[in-house]
Amino acid sequence: MSISTFARQPEQVPFRFCSTRASEEEPTEPDTSARESRFKEKPWEYLQSEEYIERYGSNPVWFSYRRNHKGLFPPQKTRKTCIRGSKVCSNPCPICRDHNLFLDYRNVKLLEQFISPNTGIIYHPTHTGICMKKYKQLTQAIEEAQNNGLLFFTIPFTSFKDEDYSNQHPAVSKTPSAPALQSKSAWYDWYEWQQPPEKEIKVLRKIYKDFLKEECGPPPSSSR
């Protein structure tokens, strides 16, 4: 083989079969889900930053989000989670797509975006589009914020009835005595004395005649 033909041959790359080692020539892109946010310790500062205003403006974080689903009708539940390990699904929910958003009970302005201002009820996940994992964290953060006095919550109206707090109804008054006790009779009918029929008395007298004593009057009174 001549030198010229050898020079024309392309450089051979060593063959690797079922190798899990990444190629040294392919640059590894940093995972966006694993990036550390500078607002992690104080997440409420992100809502006041220029980055947030430029991205969302005065709208809620879920305002421009649209769900991807098959068919004409969307499912009644959102996906369970958007991030599984180091993999992020396509079209993540409004909370998972922005690594600077944290569902912390101190981040009041973010939590208020998911509460109806008219009823005070948390928006359903199908309305905001957040995944079920973040929805669970959202409800826990809102409950903790309400317990710490950072969020207002409405107490349901309860109508009090005077009958429930009165001592004039039979439930709290003195229990009357039974009718049987008022008439000084037995509580049950079979407790009262019932005269047996004469025919049965004669039969018993005939059977136990050797053991019966003669009926006599009262004993005489002793006189001194």
Residue 139 pLDDT? 96
Residue 170 pLDDT? 66
SS3 readout for the chain: CCHHHHHHCCCCCCCCCCCCCCCCCCCCCCCHHHCCCCCCCCHHHHHHCHHHHHHHCCCCCCCCCCCCCCCCCCCCCCCCCCEECCEECCCCCCCCCCCCCCCCCCCHHHHHCCECCCCCCECCHHHHCCCHHHHHHHHHHHHHHHHCCCCCCCCCCCCCCHHHHCCCCCCCCCCCCCHHHHCCCCCCHHHCCCCCCHHHHHHHHHHCCCCCCCCCCCCCCCCC
Residue 17 pLDDT? 55
Q: Are 82 and 96 in contact (CB under 8 A)?
A: yes
Residue 217 pLDDT? 57
- Residue by residue, pLDDT tens for the chain (224 residues) are 555 554 555 555 555 555 555 555 544 444 444 467 888 899 999 999 999 999 999 999 999 999 888 888 888 999 999 999 889 998 999 999 999 999 999 999 999 999 999 888 999 999 999 999 999 999 999 999 999 999 988 787 888 877 777 777 666 667 777 776 777 777 777 777 888 899 999 999 899 988 887 766 565 665 55
CA distance 102 to 123: 18
Characterize 44-61 residue by residue with b for buried, 16 or more Cβ atoms within 10 angstroms of its Cβ, and e for exposed.
eebbeeeebeeebeeebb
- The architecture in CATH of the region 32-67+78-154 reads Irregular (4.10)
CA distance 95 to 112: 14
CA distance 32 to 86: 9
